Structure 1
Amino acid sequence: MHLIDSYLPTYQFSELHTVDIPVDPSHAMAAILAHRPEDDRFFRYAIKLRELPMRLLGRSPHPGTDQRASFGMDNFTLLQRNGDVEVAYGLAGKLWKADYGQVVVADDEAFELFNEPGNVKLVISFSCQLLRPGLTRVTTQTRVHCLDADALRSFTSYWYLIRPVSGLIRRRMLRAIARRCAAGKNLHVDLLVKHIDNSGRLYKAGVDKIDYHIPEKHTRHELMAMLGINDGATPCLP
């Protein structure tokens, strides 16, 4: 069962987009997690337009924070990641409102338990399917479940208003992920090690050879935690 089926098996609205990328799933997932839609100029313009009424009223998409902050990945809750196969994010609230009407969801359990009338629950997922060695199909799927008839009436018109832009953002996102993967295939690492006596040694395209000198090893997630970097893919316009 896919993660999105687990977290949102019932839904009234959905969209799905795919792209085939000549890399293995681990590289595709790394590109997904590293991507930020805020880097896309079109995404920034779309969000600014979406938030214009709210900003004219002096309100913020992040209650209690700087009102200049725009909607982005921080609005979503990481629900679950399944290795290099899938990752899913959730969002809940009255998303058609000028300020998104977002409900704070702490974790995957809180998302599953949330059932407040008048709201919707949204899940966006990314999956990496190995088609053959060196070729991966990346799929992004979005589902929205309205928790009652009032929410369905309110969200329906909003969905059809944003649907063309939302779909375009997702397609642009997949193209950006594909470009990141292509750039990564041509990447090699040169590492300059600085010793405590201020002498240096350059390991050119041979990082694996420094293990003798630097025995400590960390996973990608450990390093991101040390650096305070949020480990997650970047969902899109709700």
Structure 2
Amino acid sequence: MRLDYYLPQYNFVERHSITVNSTPEKVFEAFWQLDMAESKIIKTLLKIRGTYGLIFPGKSNKQSSLGLSIKDMIDKSGFILLEEMKNKEVVMGFVGRFWRPSGGIDRSVKAEDFVGFNKNGYCKSAWNFYIEQELGDKLRLPTETRILCCGGSAKILFSLYWAVIRPFSGWIRLEMLRIIKKTGANEFN
């Protein structure tokens, strides 16, 4: 996994996976077409966190046809596309002080800066979606989120934040996988 290159050491991790009856091409396409607005759970959790407008600036919480795509996250929210291996893996990252109400995302960090970033008081997170071929037409689609805390104070503050947010973060990932499966499997049939 290319995730190992971008964040080989980390303090916190969250892993989820789903099995999909499809092809790597269809699942990869479903990943890029993923619209998290399909999930009331994801929209609600983002609103509760209070970061909806910060993650997706210019999109009102009251709009009925919101687009919450991976591309939106990369283009507008401070997520960095670190690497894309077509039909295999996508690795994204972001840097910030995630425990702050705004998420404290540092939008100045670029892909080429990510591996070497080590600013005290910040965390960096790398997140992937990876396609593994199983028997026949079955694919396993794991996603893994890793967080590295830069300095003791960041680790303490993030651990308090993570104790509260982790179940909801995992719920969002599971919802994303469910939507990808639904879209990728439907396109396969």
Q: What SS does the aligned partner of 2:134 have?
A: strand
TM-score (norm 1): 0.69
Bigger CA radius of gyration: 1
Q: Which has the higher contact order (CA 8 A, sep 6+)?
A: 2
3-state SS of paired residue (2:185):
helix
Which runs of 5 or more structure 1 residues have no equivalent in the other structure? 187-238
Q: What is the TM-score normalised by the length of structure 2?
A: 0.86
Q: Specify whether residues 146 and 24 from structure 1 end up closer, same or farther in structure 2 by C-alpha distance, changes over 3 A only.
A: same
The equivalent residue for 2:103 is: 100
The runs of 5 or more residues in structure 2 that have no matched partner are: none
Q: How far apart are 1:113 and its partner, in Å? A: 2.9
| Count of residues in correspondence between the two structures | 178
CA positional deviation for 1:62:
6.0
Matched to 1:83, the amino acid is K
Of 80, 86, 96 in structure 2, the residue corresponding to residue 77 of structure 1 is: 80
Contact 2:131 2:142 (8 Å CA) reproduced:
yes
Please tell me whether the aligned partners of residues 105 and 111 of structure 1 are also in contact (alpha carbons under 8 angstroms): no
Q: 1:175 aligns with which of 171, 178, 185?
A: 178
Residue identity opposite 1:94 in structure 2? R
Ranges of 4+ aligned residues in structure 1 off by more than 6 Å: 69-72
1:176 partner letter: I
* 1:109 aligns to 2:112 (yes or no): yes
Is the Cα contact below 8 Å between 2:7 and 2:126 reproduced in 1? yes
Q: Return the offset for 1:109.
A: 0.7
CA deviation profile, 1:113-151 (whole Å, cap 9, x unmatched) = 322110000011000011123111100000000011010
Give, in whole Å, the separation in 2 of the partners of 1:68 and 1:24.
Answer: 36
User: Secondary structure of the equivalent of 1:102?
Assistant: coil
Correspondence for 1:25: 24
Q: Over aligned residues, Cα RMSD in angstroms?
A: 2.3
